[in-house]
């Protein structure tokens, strides 16, 4: 359980790093007239993603580590982090945890966006399933995935609407 706690802490620190980058990019975008879309669902996203980390620890305290499940899931967690940071580096100043569009900015179509319209959400879904399952927290994986599906439907609709303004 100690190693799993360290993993959850590492993911939490990674999220903090994302927020630092996001705040910097938000300031950059706002200076250039950036417009935010869907601000109303942002607090729900923060609560859901924070709850994922807490629920992982709470449920895992009552579960065993199953190597045949845990190690492959750990690999998926690492791959999800790699994909997430590929998205962040590809979007550069345009990446944000919020949906912000700078009028006249070019739509990014390189990197992972060449293959999938919303690759960061592929990483979010993969991590939301895999992170709890690293330590057999299957209830957390199921509940987060279901709630996240509703949130992502809203989020992707919002992003697509925002991206339409770039055409």
pLDDT digits (tens, 9 = 90+) for 116-136: 999 999 999 999 999 999 999
Judge whether residue 66 has pLDDT over 70: yes
Residue 59: C-alpha distances to residues 27, 47, 55, 78, 127 (Å) = 38, 18, 6, 21, 16
pLDDT at 166: 79
The encoded tokens of residue 25 equal 């990019």
pLDDT at 165: 84
- In terms of Cα–Cα distance, which of 42, 44, 58 is closest to 147? 44
Sequence spans of domains, the chain: 2-164
Give the right CATH number for 2-164 from 3.40.190.80, 3.90.550.10, 1.20.120.1630, 2.30.30.100. 1.20.120.1630
CA distance 16 to 29: 20
Judge whether residue 167 has pLDDT over 80: no
Model confidence, pTM: 0.94
Q: What is the mean pLDDT of residues 65-87?
A: 98
CA distance 59 to 74: 17
Q: What is the pLDDT of residues 44-53, one digit of tens each?
A: 999 999 999 9
Q: What is the mean pLDDT of residues 19-29?
A: 97
């Amino acid at each position: 359980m100690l190693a799993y706690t360290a993993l959850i802490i590492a993911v939490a620190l990674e999220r903090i790093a994302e927020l630092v980058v996001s705040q910097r990019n938000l300031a950059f975008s706002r200076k250039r007239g950036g417009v935010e879309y869907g601000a109303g669902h942002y607090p729900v996203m923060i609560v859901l993603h924070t709850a994922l980390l807490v629920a992982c620890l709470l449920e895992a305290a009552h579960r065993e580590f199953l190597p045949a499940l845990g190690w492959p899931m750990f690999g998926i967690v690492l791959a999800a982090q790699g994909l997430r940071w590929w998205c962040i580096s590809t979007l550069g100043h345009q990446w944000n945890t919020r949906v912000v569009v700078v009028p006249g900015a070019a739509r990014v179509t390189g990197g992972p966006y060449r293959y999938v319209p919303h690759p960061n959400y592929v990483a979010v879904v993969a991590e939301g399933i895999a992170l709890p399952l690293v330590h057999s927290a299957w209830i957390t994986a199921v509940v987060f995935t279901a709630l996240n599906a509703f949130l992502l439907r809203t989020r992707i609709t919002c992003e697509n609407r925002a991206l339409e303004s770039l055409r």
